[in-house]
Amino acid sequence: MATHILLTGSSRGIGAAIAGSFARDDVRLIGHGTKSGIAADFDAPGGAQALWQKALGALDGRIDVLINNAGIFESNPIDRDGDAWAANWERTMRVNLTASAELCRLAILHWQDGNRGGRIVNMASRAAYRGDSPAHWHYAASKAGMVAMTKSIARGYASENILAFAICPGFTMTGMADDYLASRGGDKLLADIPLGRVAEASEVAVLARFCALEAPPSMTGAILDVNGASYVR
Ligand SMILES: NC(=O)c1ccc[n+]([C@@H]2O[C@H](COP(=O)([O-])OP(=O)(O)OC[C@H]3O[C@@H](n4cnc5c(N)ncnc54)[C@H](OP(=O)(O)O)[C@@H]3O)[C@@H](O)[C@H]2O)c1
């Protein structure tokens, strides 16, 4: 029986690499972007819940694995207007954390209803542990939330064979990382990575695929780093 997967943020970057990593497996995958796959804007009310229902319909009523990969990394300097700062904080929280939480909730209810297990893979970030730049408090906080949520789910539902993992990439070569490298002066940032380079999206995809299909159940709750030893904990 094929494994049914819902993957958010598959339109580009790490998500596209994750989608590609399933090509040789017995997998039916529903992808997502704001304008591609099953389209949904997580900043819009009900966006995540609508995505779940549509994906469930497209997968004949069964989803086995949820991969919450979609995310935004927007600058929010503290010297901007206070209302704009608060609005940007809320937007990042909604897209990066609340939408993932809504999808996790629906996945768990789905698996409990069918009395079967399932797997959640949440894309967090090195920022969850190390923090981020002064313009990205919200990003770091949203990713720390992903880590805490993943641990809560792992501990709360392991007895029902519902497993949860989180992945914490450091800088990863996608559009998002390109912007970040440019804004931080490129080489200087690389000097902080003992491996001497940022991660490839395909390296993060290897882990996502492993967590989705192969990771032994005793690994549930694991938070996996992919950062070239730029932050070890
Ligand atoms: N790249 C890094 O250095 C890095 C490091 C650590 C963690 N991460 C995390 O890894 C994940 C993927 O990052 P990436 O670098 O591959 O990002 P990316 O290339 O910018 O792609 C982001 C994905 O999220 C989707 N998305 C953007 N805004 C959305 C919204 N409002 N509602 C729903 N979906 C939305 C995008 O869809 P559209 O194409 O339609 O916009 C796209 O599929 C993110 O969670 C990110 O925080 C990345």
Each residue of 194-229: pLDDT tens digit?
Answer: 999 999 999 999 999 999 999 999 999 999 999 999
- Residue nearest atom 20 of ligand 1, based on CA coordinates: 176
Distance CA 222, CA 83 (A): 37
Q: Measure 1 CA to ligand 1 centroid, in angstroms.
A: 30
* Domain hosting residue 185, numbered range: 3-226
CB 120 within 8 A of CB 68: yes
Q: Measure 145 CA to ligand 1 centroid, in angstroms.
A: 16
Beta pairing partners, 3: 27
The continuous run of DSSP H or E covering 173 comes out as none
Whether 232 is covered by a domain: the verdict is no
Other Cβ atoms less than 10 A from the Cβ of 14: the count is 29
At CB < 8 A and 24+ separation, what contacts does 80-83 make? none
Instruction: Give 186's pLDDT tier (boundaries 50, 70, 90).
Output: confident
Q: Measure 132 CA to ligand 1 centroid, in angstroms.
A: 16
* Domain count along the chain: 1
The pick from 91, 102, 172, 198 for probing ligand 1's pocket by mutation, whose C-beta has the most ligand atoms within 8 angstroms, reads: 172
Whether 53 is covered by a domain: the verdict is yes
Instruction: Tell whether ligand 1 has an atom less than 6 A from the beta carbon of residue 225.
Output: no
pLDDT at 156 over 70: yes
CB 56 within 8 A of CB 63: yes
Mean of pLDDT over the chain: 95
Alpha helix stretches (DSSP H) within the chain: 13-21, 47-58, 82-93, 99-113, 127-130, 137-157, 175-184, 187-190, 201-213
Other Cβ atoms less than 10 A from the Cβ of 39: the count is 14
pLDDT at 70 over 80: yes
The pick from 174, 200, 203, 204 for probing ligand 1's pocket by mutation, whose C-beta has the most ligand atoms within 8 angstroms, reads: 174
Q: Measure 10 CA to ligand 1 centroid, in angstroms.
A: 8
Quick one: residue 121, left, alpha or beta (phi over 0 = left, psi -120 to 50 = alpha)?
A: beta
Each residue of 117-127: pLDDT tens digit?
Answer: 999 999 999 99
pLDDT at 25 over 80: no
pLDDT at 111 over 70: yes
Whether 231 is covered by a domain: the verdict is no
Could you tell me the CATH number of the domain that includes residue 105?
3.40.50.720
